[in-house]
Amino acid sequence: GAEESTLMSYFSKNQIQALKPKITFSTLRDLQCPVLQSKDLQGKPEESCSTEELFEWLGAVLNQVNLDNKSSSFLSTYCCPEPNTVVEKAFLCTITGFIIPEKIIQLLEQLCCYFGEPKLAHWLTLTVHGFADSPVSWRENEHGFHKGGENLYNFVIFRNLDYWLQMAVGAHDDCPP
Residue-averaged pLDDT of the chain = 82
Q: Which of 66, 91, 62 shows the shortest CA–CA distance to 80?
A: 66
The length of the chain, given as a count of residues: 177
User: What pTM value is reported for the model?
Assistant: 0.79
- Express as a percent the part of the chain with pLDDT over 90: 45
Q: How far apart are CA 119 and CA 66, in angstroms?
A: 27
- Taking the domains of the chain in order of start, what are their residue ranges? 26-92, 97-176
**Residues 115-144: what's their mean pLDDT?**
75
pLDDT on residue 14:
81
Cα dihedral 153, 158, 162, 165 in deg (nearest 10): -10
Between 138 and 156, name the one with better pLDDT: 156
Residue pLDDT, tens place only, 92-101:
999 988 888 8
User: What's the pLDDT band for 142 if we cut at 50, 70, 90?
Assistant: low
Between 132 and 19, name the one with better pLDDT: 19
Do the beta carbons of residue 104 and residue 129 sit within 8 Å?
Answer: no
Do the beta carbons of residue 152 and residue 167 sit within 8 Å?
Answer: yes
169: how many CB neighbours lie within 10 A of its CB?
20
Do the beta carbons of residue 78 and residue 32 sit within 8 Å?
Answer: no
Q: Is 34 helix (H, G, I), strand (E, B) or coil?
A: strand
Residue pLDDT, tens place only, 34-92:
999 999 999 999 999 999 999 999 988 888 877 766 666 555 567 889 999 999 999 99
pLDDT on residue 148:
58
DSSP state for residue 101 in the 8-state scheme: H
Q: Which of 144, 137, 146 shows the shortest CA–CA distance to 170?
A: 144
Between 2 and 52, name the one with better pLDDT: 52
